A and B are shown apart, each in its own frame.
Chain A
């Protein structure tokens, strides 16, 4: 159980911004955008880690770095004990079979000119999953597994609704029997009633097939529902991580608290008129000094503006990146133990 499937160590991804021509002539360096900044985490086998944050926090970039769709600037990615940070394309092929992804937009992540059968068969043949005489049976089993009829096989993506397309995306990802599934906002584009179907399906298949899942989303309630541990990102850094209970019931970082308070709850009654978190997310091109959250933080003090906050370990699982929480002079005593 405690075997680590994915470990990310100090991962950083910097994008160089395109330079205006004049800057190029003047040999001015390109502006740099630090999308992911020194992120580390581990996912144990069969666990689900929920990665949450608002737009621009780097959660999608992080997912893509792990898939090696982006080259990381520094840091290491260990997948099933193997360092995959610098594998070449050929070597990545077998890794990719064990590491699959589903995307947010079920409308653009399927090829419009391939039937479901063609799309799935291509994957099976490429990764040599089944002998050709068992291909069809396997295909039908996949469709059944994600809750689609057999006659879906010969249809084109356009004849499916958003939820059904997400099922096809899931079938394609699971066709190769991966160990790790990266789900990048898999239900954000779906209607509420369909969203619940897909979340349940994802949870069922995870348990049935023994998947380890990295679930990237901006919606806390969705992430809470499927994950056993969570990491909250803000401007490229993980600012709080822990088990789902720790992050939801005993959150320490003011940003996590703000996110939780800002979430509209389906319980009627007008609430506090004070916004949970004031201000806008700063541009990652113009990163705030010190703690990155200090420009919006309700409890920020002088030290937050100048010094980067320390990473504090509250328990073996719960970490927070803050000067002032649990308390300013906190010295490492584990709370409550």
Chain B
């Protein structure tokens, strides 16, 4: 057992760190990282696009892919180092939608499709938004009812999707729709790609509880998608969806983001007086901060282990599920603890001269609520561990 990075990994890490440290300096006023913020304002989106452009130039959008599609063929640990570096510096360099689509595509798409799409994706030309969930199909995704019906060289899609994060910024959608209503729920689904600027697609904003425009609902009204835009085979979209889980899901990036937030919070507590006492000298505050530090440390060790497990078995479920569950719950805890420690100052929104840490925890205490729901709820992750890790019986 050896926890040391190889010289190549150290070199790569230094390269990532140097780049992101510089990129962080270009962030717009009030920027504090995270996945959602990029969609909220024009400035944030412009920053995100310019970051992605430079990341793509370095071949870092496609780190794990085979070289022939513009990839670097790097492993999960190296990807974890990338995520760690970007997230610590709060630079929006990770496109999870791209990771999901490319993982499914690499596994199941035709060679022709890969040739057509992957190089463009690696150049950062495609911003996907995800059309999976529906009003009546959340955790039970396979029960979705959006229909796709064959018509000549096309499929015609009708239905409604929700939680289409970033659809108002994206230029493409990836869509899961039902092509066979008689088969078992997960045997009649097909995975489509579509340009977003097409007749038959309408997008409506869904404002988050803090007022931010991140999510949307998307309506399909006779949307025509050419058959060549199907990833994998007709009625085999579920397999492609599942294969989309094969990307770096160790949580290393999230750990780095939390580490950075904790550093800021600790720093705030060291330099803030409340009722004549430095906040950081209050034993109760100390205990809260220390407990968060322990949990982040636990998650850090777990993330490395998880990346290591993924290296050995790309489709391992148990470890990434544990990562997703524990980390997102910890993010909620961190945000709420931060808000509480700051007291009334913690509740101030960004923009007020009185706002603590740019209103970071005021926003995070709301935004993180989506983290324990999106991408498989905490309960779903625990189900996965119980069913596919501990092999507990499943109620039929």
Do the two shown chains form a genuine complex with each other?
A: no
